[in-house]
Amino acid sequence: MAVTDILARPFASWSQQKRQGWATILVAVAFAIYPFLTDDDSNIDTIANAMSYATLALGLNIVVGFAGLLDLGYAAFFAIGAYYYGIFTAYQVMPPWSSGWEPLAAVGLVEKINQGGGDLVHFTLSFWLALPTGALVAGLFGVLFGAPTLRLRGDYLAIVTLGFGEIVPIVARNADSITNGAAGLNGVKGPALPAIKALGFEGYSFGVNATPYYYVGMVLVAILIFSSIRLRDSRIGRAWMAIREDETAASAMGINLRNFKLLAFAIGASFSGFTGVYFVSKLQVATPEMFNFSVSSMLIVMVVLGGMGSVWGVVVGAALLQLLQTWILPRSTDVIRAIGESVGSDFLMAADLVQWTQMFFGIIIVVMMLFRREGLIPATRAQPKLDLEEQQADVKRGGFVNVDRIEKWNPGTGNALEIKDVTVRFGGLVALNKVSLTIPAGGVIAVIGPNGSGKSTLFNAITGLVPSEGSIKFEGHELIGLRPDEVLAAGVARTFQNIRLFPKLTVLENVLIGQHCRLKTLPFGAIFRPPAARAEEQGALRKALDILGLFGNRLSPRANHTVAGLSYANRRRVEISRALASRPRILLLDEPTAGMNPNETLELAEQIGELNAMGLTILIIEHKLDVVTRLANRVTVLDHGDVIAEGTADEVQRNEEVLTAYLGRAHRAKIEAQDAAAKENANG
Amino acid sequence: MTTGELFLQQLINGLNLGAMYSLLALGFTLVYGIMELINFSHFNVFMVGAFIALGVLRLMGLDGQIVILTGLPLVVVILVAFVVTMFSTGMIGVGIERLLLRPLRAVTGPAAMILTIGVSYILFNIILIGVGGDTRNFANPLPSVSWHFGEATLRLRDVLIWGITIVLMLGLTYFVQFTKLGKGMRATAQDPEAARMMGVEVDNVVGLSFFIGSALAGASGLIFGLYYNYAKVDMGFSAGLRAFTAAVLGGIGNVPGAMLGGVLIGLIEAGSSQLIGQAWADVIIFSILVIVLVFRPAGLLGRQAPNKS
């Protein structure tokens, strides 16, 4: 960071956005004019190759960096793009000609050729058409490979993708009739610009000249950087990062895990398919060896070196590795040999560092993992410092501030949640035994009970995190059988007992993820940002800031801080904000005041009361009886999975079974003393 | 050959492969059981083991296929080769754990697994640069004693491989089930935190599991050499992937499961090579991996679901 800080100093008066914009333009212009400054075609060729690595690294970064899905067989999609273009331009697959092909011939996709024998069909797919369709084909294969495997935990996914990465070259090697086996497809057509007669343009064939490929590569890199950044800063990127950080919480916050993982796989694969078409058209040959594990692992090295999840980082990583392979190692070899010659050492004269390329890959991975796991250009930005005033936050009575910015709820009438005979089993253990509970719309119901009595399991059953039997109806709709994200979309949001925020994301991002199920932006909207998508994103941002603003200056100044660095109480507040952001109709709070000091507890209790006053129905698990007494209309007591008492806070505190199972002798004494004092007052 | 003889011959081949994969799978399973880590360096610890064995045999004057030993010299040579190879790869495993993985023990996420990919690369290139990438002939001092069942042949080599594998597995089972350290190991696998509080020295247990796993990988590398009569720098990849499949098939983290899975994968490979050709055997095996992971992630014998989260 230091170097960029120094470079940025003269431009300190510019906004960060302006600085980044100009820096990007400067880099782009430098790349655009470079071919005019050099007369060494091999340099241009090297950079063109580096560009294809950069596009691959960008694609892998979507899968590994954004979504946290460790794909070790990523080169498979590269191969699919490459063979797709190769098969449809080389002279390998040539079915016999029939009149049925004529419409395709008319649009230039096939031609009739004769190599002695009968007439054959030769596919002549245009490069420009192959680029987008290659991306599409690879994306489809991404879904195909992803669908059965994405349910797996991260490290299993790694090994399965490794297997897939190995199968694709094997298939390519053995399906001779289509791929020409180990020898590979030769004579893949290079791109050409069609002639435009009207402008007097004669057309242009790329041939073996590196410069046109260089410019195509540059455009591809630019497109993919742009798409990556746009996706990252959208609903979609946030969903991926949430999955990466904590799948369970992501699901509970309304993200459809399967769809978004598949989307990451498909988009990552399509970047790779894109590149495959480009790479093969440049080399004009496709062999199975071009796509084996060493390619996949080189891409992993690029992503690890640059920084997982960091768009510019992986581009730099790709550039550095290409520099290492084509310049640093050969030059160092020359230097070492020259030294060897001058000191007369045969050993040094025989040195060949280029052989060591892969050794350096291994060393880079190990060193980065040990000493700089976030990569050279980390994805998480430096956090703004707070001034003294912003840091200060007195514990204030009186609940929320700026409440008028939040839309009120209309709780409706009748029952919000009707839980009937819900049973949850873990193997032989019955964690919940035919629990029934009704939460009236607009009410506050508390669930208390000793640890292990099934309180959190009840929450998990309601929100679809554990399978359960019985019936849970929310505003008349059955929740059992729904996925956690569907439950959230229905209007049931929750917090977790042990706080499950997305630790590496900022406060704002966490709250924006809460809105996921209320937003609609899809990849197209995320990348091209039509007015509707832009308005939606701005609305979401405003809403998130309004919700954070409820807590006064506790969260607002920290909106751009990662939550990992927040205090415990603030993390609790962020989790409640995140749940509120989904605009729930009922809020499930799992021990919201655990770990807070008495003042903070009181403050939060008032705020929860205020949410209820605004019309939000609340179901709360809580151990602190004063909070329960203050808030709850009714209290349900669980013990060993059974409901043992139900009533007002005062009633359950006097219940014999509750005193025995949960509250204990001390509480009984306290209640008896209170009663005695009350009686004395009445008598006296 | 008749169908019966073919079956018998592929059974013998499959059991040899199975012995090799089982030993290799045990390393994956021990480390995964204790650290929930897929150790990619294991692939190439196996390969390095084969080259160490090659070197040891060469040091004892055995090079290529020329020298045939019998009686006591044969026993000594085989014993020395196994002991030295296993100890060396065991120490490599311990070194990897102590120097590189221990600093990452507290780090969540895929960092440790990615690191083992880097280590695997380094091991690969040490052999590639130091020894070269071409196929090396592996000494085979065993006399060509064989028994014939029709046209199916059972060689002394096969019996030796099975015998050594069974001895190693019995030893490991005894160790894990009945010794104090073995109990500590099982305790750590279940809950490292609780094990630590109960006085198990978790650091030692982790180091030990790396030592045992890597030593077995060394033995497996030596068996590869004896079976195929060669060693090559890229031999680790597909053998490792098959062994990993074996560990998953048996139930990763489960010691008898790895043994069973290894034998099954060996038999499946031999069978599918016979029926549809060697080239597609890999595809079959990886398909099994995917199918098992998707439909029965706990494997055949595993009780704990891998998706603990």
Give the pLDDT confidence of A312-367 residue by residue, as tens digits: 999 999 999 999 988 889 899 999 999 988 888 888 888 888 888 889 999 999 99
Nearest-CA neighbor of B185 among B303, B29, B26, B34? B34
Say if B52 falls within a structural domain. Answer: yes
- DSSP letter for A201, please: B
Say if A25 falls within a structural domain. Answer: no
Say if B154 falls within a structural domain. Answer: yes
Q: Are residues A457 and A509 in the same domain?
A: no
Q: How confident is the model at residue A3 (pLDDT cuts 50, 70, 90)?
A: low
- The shortest C-alpha distance from A248 to chain B (Å) reads 9
Say if A75 falls within a structural domain. Answer: yes
Q: Are residues A611 and A533 in the same domain?
A: no
Contact of A59 with A224, CB cutoff 8 Å: yes
A 521-540 → B contacts, CB under 8 A: none
Residue in chain B lying closest to A69 (CA): B110
- The shortest C-alpha distance from A149 to chain B (Å) reads 6
Question: For residue B66, which amino acid is it?
Answer: I
pLDDT in tens, A384-434: 677 766 666 665 656 787 777 888 888 878 888 999 999 999 888 889 999
Cα A432 to Cα A590: distance, rounded to the nearest angstrom: 17
Q: Are residues A306 and A175 in the same domain?
A: yes
Cα B213 to Cα B24: distance, rounded to the nearest angstrom: 8
Residues of chain A neighbouring B114 (CB-CB closer than 8 A): 70, 300, 304, 365, 369
Cα A261 to Cα A169: distance, rounded to the nearest angstrom: 24
Question: For residue A588, which amino acid is it?
Answer: L
Per-residue pLDDT at B81: 94
Check the CA dihedral A636-A640-A644-A649 and report its sign: negative
Phi, psi (deg, nearest 5) at residue A642: -110, 150
Say if B135 falls within a structural domain. Answer: yes
Say if A16 falls within a structural domain. Answer: no
Q: How confident is the model at residue A158 (pLDDT cuts 50, 70, 90)?
A: confident
Check the CA dihedral A522-A526-A530-A533 and report its sign: positive
pLDDT in tens, A94-105: 888 888 888 888
Q: Are residues A312 and A200 in the same domain?
A: yes
* Residue A7 structure tokens: 């470079």
Percent of chain A whose pLDDT exceeds 90: 45
CB contact under 8 Å between A300 and B294, yes or no, is: no
Nearest-CA neighbor of A154 among B36, B30, B247? B36
Q: Are residues A330 and A438 in the same domain?
A: no
Helical pair B202-228 and B3-35, crossing angle rounded to 10 deg: 160
Phi, psi (deg, nearest 5) at residue A472: -125, 110
Q: How many domains does chain B have?
A: 1
Average pLDDT over residues A161-170: 84
Say if A345 falls within a structural domain. Answer: yes
Q: Which residues contact A676 (CB under 8 A, 6 or more apart)?
A: none
Q: Are residues A473 and A507 in the same domain?
A: no
Say if B29 falls within a structural domain. Answer: yes
Say if A94 falls within a structural domain. Answer: no
pLDDT in tens, A210-230: 888 999 999 999 999 999 999
- Give the global pTM: 0.89
Beta bridge partners of A562: A506
Contact of A473 with A221, CB cutoff 8 Å: no
Contact of A638 with A436, CB cutoff 8 Å: no
A145 in B contact zone (CB under 8 Å):
no
CA angle B143, B148, B154 (to 5 degrees): 55
Q: How confident is the model at residue A618 (pLDDT cuts 50, 70, 90)?
A: very high
Say if A8 falls within a structural domain. Answer: no
Q: Give the mean pLDDT of chain A.
A: 88
Residues of chain A neighbouring B241 (CB-CB closer than 8 A): 159, 162-163, 166
Per-residue pLDDT at A609: 92
Closest to A365 (Cβ–Cβ): which among B107, B117, B289? B117
CB contact under 8 Å between A155 and B37, yes or no, is: yes
Phi, psi (deg, nearest 5) at residue A67: -90, -10
A205 in B contact zone (CB under 8 Å):
no
Look at the block and give the residue holding tokens 């200060």. A392
Query: What's chain A's Rg over C-alpha atoms?
Result: 31
Q: Are residues A566 and A441 in the same domain?
A: no
pLDDT at A164 over 90: no
Average pLDDT over residues A485-503: 93
Among residues A330, A354, A371, the one where a domain terminates is A371
Per-residue pLDDT at B43: 94
Say if B80 falls within a structural domain. Answer: yes
Q: Number of Cβ pairs closer than 8 Å across A and B?
A: 120
Say if A114 falls within a structural domain. Answer: no
Q: How many domains does chain A have?
A: 3
How many other CB atoms sit within 10 Å of the CB of residue A112?
12
Look at the block and give the residue holding tokens 């010299």. B73
CATH number of the domain where residue A622 is located: 3.40.50.300
Say if A521 falls within a structural domain. Answer: yes
Per-residue pLDDT at A386: 74
Q: Which residues contact A339 (CB under 8 A, 6 or more apart)?
A: A345, A348
Q: Are residues A256 and A137 in the same domain?
A: yes
CB contact under 8 Å between B114 and A162, yes or no, is: no
**Is the reported ipTM for this assembly greater than 0.85?**
yes
Residues of chain B neighbouring A173 (CB-CB closer than 8 A): 279
Among residues A582, A601, A625, the one where a domain terminates is A582
Nearest-CA neighbor of A371 among B118, B122, B214? B118
Residue in chain A lying closest to B126 (CA): A359
Secondary structure class of A431 (helix, strand, coil): strand
Residues of chain A neighbouring B107 (CB-CB closer than 8 A): 373
* Residue A432 structure tokens: 């919940």
CATH number of the domain where residue A335 is located: 1.10.3470
Q: Are residues A415 and A527 in the same domain?
A: no
Q: Are residues A567 and A589 in the same domain?
A: no
Q: How confident is the model at residue A439 (pLDDT cuts 50, 70, 90)?
A: very high
Contact of A89 with A125, CB cutoff 8 Å: yes
Cα A95 to Cα A88: distance, rounded to the nearest angstrom: 12
Contact of A117 with A94, CB cutoff 8 Å: no
Secondary structure class of A430 (helix, strand, coil): strand
Look at the block and give the residue holding tokens 């009595």. A453
pLDDT at A570 over 80: yes
Per-residue pLDDT at A395: 56
Secondary structure class of A193 (helix, strand, coil): strand
Chain B residues whose C-beta is within 8 A of a chain A C-beta are 36-38, 100, 103-104, 107, 109-115, 117-122, 124-126, 128-129, 237-238, 241, 244-245, 248, 279-280, 282-283, 286, 289-290, 293-294, 297, 306-307, 309
Contact of B64 with B198, CB cutoff 8 Å: no
Mutate to test the interface with B, among A156, A179, A243, A466 (most CBs of B within 10 A): A156
Per-residue pLDDT at B309: 34
Per-residue pLDDT at B306: 38
Among residues A536, A552, A582, the one where a domain terminates is A582
Give the DSSP H/E element, type plus range, for residue A435.
strand A429-440
Look at the block and give the residue holding tokens 């960091």. A310
Per-residue pLDDT at B307: 38
pLDDT at A298 over 80: yes
pLDDT at A274 over 80: yes
Cα B117 to Cα B38: distance, rounded to the nearest angstrom: 10
Domain that holds residue A164: 46-89+125-371
A294 in B contact zone (CB under 8 Å):
no
Secondary structure class of A171 (helix, strand, coil): helix
Percent of chain A whose pLDDT exceeds 70: 96
Beta bridge partners of A643: A638
Look at the block and give the residue holding tokens 């100093």. A9
Q: Are residues A366 and A439 in the same domain?
A: no
Domain that holds residue B94: 20-234
Helices (H) and strands (E) in chain A, counts: 29, 16
Taking chain B (309 residues) in runs of 10, the rounded mean pLDDT of each run is: 86 93 94 89 96 93 74 89 96 96 86 93 93 88 84 89 93 90 87 86 90 96 92 91 91 89 93 83 84 82 49
Nearest-CA neighbor of A231 among A528, A605, A643? A528
Cα A46 to Cα A52: distance, rounded to the nearest angstrom: 10
Q: Are residues A234 and A249 in the same domain?
A: yes
Residues of chain A neighbouring B273 (CB-CB closer than 8 A): none
